[in-house]
Structure 1
Amino acid sequence: MVNSAQTHLLLRGCNSFLVNNVVVESPANSPNTDGIHIHSSTNIIITNSRFASGDDCISIGDRISNIRIDNVECGPGHGISIGSLGRQGNQVQVEKIHISDVLFKGTTNGARIKTWQVGRGYVRDVIFENLMFDGVQNPIIIDQSYCDVRNACKEEETGVEISNVRYREIHGTSSSEMGINLNCSRSVPCNEISMESIQLTSIDPGKDIVAGCANAYGQEYQVSPSPCLLN
């Protein structure tokens, strides 16, 4: 699939759907050209595929359960994103997402979860594992205050609850100073976050990178950069 006007492949209202051996190619500066967007679907497998786009390689929308993504290459693009979710203040239902064996090459983001403060509901039971980053700007990121204007979101008392998210066996390089960025809500914090066997370094030899967590609770083992999570 080459140079779609917008999203290359939309999966909506699907059950037991397989995407295998698919290649998407669009320029890095092409707007809104997600490789695959998934919405209102369950039991989806995406495997053995390669995505180059100007937006998310794969984006996961609302009313989702049992999604498996593995053996995928992503780049250029905005990474693999759960969200954005809850923009209209709706009740979000996203669970049982397993993302593994992915190579991110020069992407804006890597493993990302993004929700709007006005949203409600939950994102839970998510696994990111065996990921490799090659010059990724935001390798690991949760943004519970996603909005149209970066860093200008009005703080709300609502939020989408994010819980039981596991990151393990993740390695590679960051093109920015912030290798891990978990920006969670003060009103609805992130809980049961687990990080294990993570080694991220700067793409520039000799430079240090950092981890930043706000209102994110969990445990971490053998993680660099560290520390980050609250107990």
Structure 2
Amino acid sequence: MEYSFLFLFVLSTLSLLLPTTTSHPTVFNVLHYGAVGDGQTDDTNAFAKAWKQTCAVSSSSVTLRVPSHKTFLIRPLKFYGPCNSKTVTVEVYGNLVAPYDPSDWRCEHNICGRWIHFHGLAGLTVRGHGRIDGSGARWWRTKAFEISDSDNVHIGGGLRFKDSPRMHIVLNGIRTLSVSNVTIDAPEQSPNTDGIHVTGCTNVVIDHSRIGTGDDCISIVDGSSFVTVSNVVCGPGHGISIGSLGKNGANDKVEHVRVSDAVFLGAQNGARIKTWQGGRGHARHIMFERILYHDTTNPIIIDQFYCDHQHCRTKESAVQIKNVTFRQIVGTSRMKTAVILKCSKTFPCTDIVVEDMHILTTDEHDATFECKNVLGIAQGKTVPGLSCLDLV
């Protein structure tokens, strides 16, 4: 008995001398911060409080959870870092919906440039099978979901984006990024509703996703490099686009882009590079391969005369386009002219390669092509035959 008492005394003494560790919860559920999730109550403040706690915890990993079977109405909301944890996961299992009436936004200084905005984070993952619903047409000028100035970002896990007021997903200034297994849906007539907009990002992977919008399914613009897109279905939409680049004389650069195993269904464009007259910079080291088209208006298009308004002038300077390959291309074109390569006289497109292509019109007639100031080669069997390129 005396030895037992002595043992317990020693243990209690050691417990006072040894340093203590404080355990922090690593999962923060928005319901615990006052969110209701009935689709009508404003849950913005509850989300803000939950994020504040999530971001403050020092841990190897921490999670903000949006539970399933509920719909959360939120106004414009900022999820800003840096956070104290090494990795932060946002699990979206329920639905997020924007106010249908813009007057309900109550934005700071009446400026509503973004709805959901993550900024300045490292090790961010946004995943889940929930739906992010932008409520669409009443406020087309606002970006729905943006992540900016961050590192090591992952988006996926079955997330669904619907009816963005403008671009669905904006990825701006991210180092190391992956987007996988997402679905994006908006009406074909909706203006400027790009699916995924990549700007100033490097080391990017986008794969296994389904995108249908009123604008580009994926747009890759200035400052982006080492971008890989694969196993993406696009339609409706304006294609997978490099650009537009060089607007208002800008010096824009995009390089090392590879698009493979993509399917275009009823899209307005397929593989596209678009630049403005008067711009500077370059689009280079680009490959589109193993592409399937079905009833696509412009399956292949390089356009150095891009202009989205009526009064456009031809200028001498242009964004240089070089080292672009189209390989193993098959399918049908809604228009008789299936391949358009329109380049500048002063800055012609160079090192253009078309290899193994077979495109017919939707009614299975021979398709044609349009070429202007293009230097490159056509190899293998190409239908339509591109006499503007050197045959190898």
Shift of 1:211: 1.0
TM-score (norm 2): 0.57
Match of 1:154 in 2: 313
- Alignment partner for residue 212 of structure 1, among 367, 370, 380? 370
Secondary structure at the residue paired with 2:162? coil
Q: Which residue of 2 aligns with 1:223?
A: 382
The CA distance in 2 between the partners of 1:219 and 1:109, in whole Å, is 23
Pairs within 5 Å for 1:1-231: 1-149=161-309, 153-205=312-364, 207-221=365-379, 222-231=381-390
Distance 2:176 2:279 in 1: 28
The 3-state SS of whatever aligns with 1:13 is strand
Structure 2 runs not aligned, ≥5 long: 1-160
Long gaps (5+) in structure 1: none
- Residue by residue over 1:69-117, the C-alpha shift from the partner in whole angstroms, topping out at 9 and shown as x without a partner, is 0000000111111111110211111100000000000000000000001
RMSD: 1.1
Q: Deviations over 1:153-204 (max 9, x none)?
A: 4221100000000000010000001110000001100000000000000101
What is the DSSP-based 3-state SS (H/G/I as helix, E as strand, rest coil) of the residue aligned with 1:88? Answer: helix
What is the alpha-carbon distance in structure 2 between the residues aligned to residue 83 and residue 188 of structure 1?
A: 17
- Higher RCO, 1 or 2 (CA under 8 Å, sep at least 6)? 1
Q: 2:378, 2:389 within 8 Å by CA — same for their partners in 1?
A: no
Q: Tell me, what secondary structure is at the counterpart of 2:249? A: coil
The 2-side partners of 1:138 and 1:173 are apart by 10
Aligned length: 229
Greater percentage in strand: 1
After TM superposition, give the deviation of residue 36 of structure 1 in Å: 0.4
Q: Which runs of 4+ in 1 moved over 6 A?
A: none
Q: CA deviation at 1:147?
A: 1.2
CA contact (8 A) 2:245 2:252 kept: yes
Deviation at 1:228, TM superposition (A): 4.0
* Contact 1:215–1:230 under 8 Å retained in 2: no
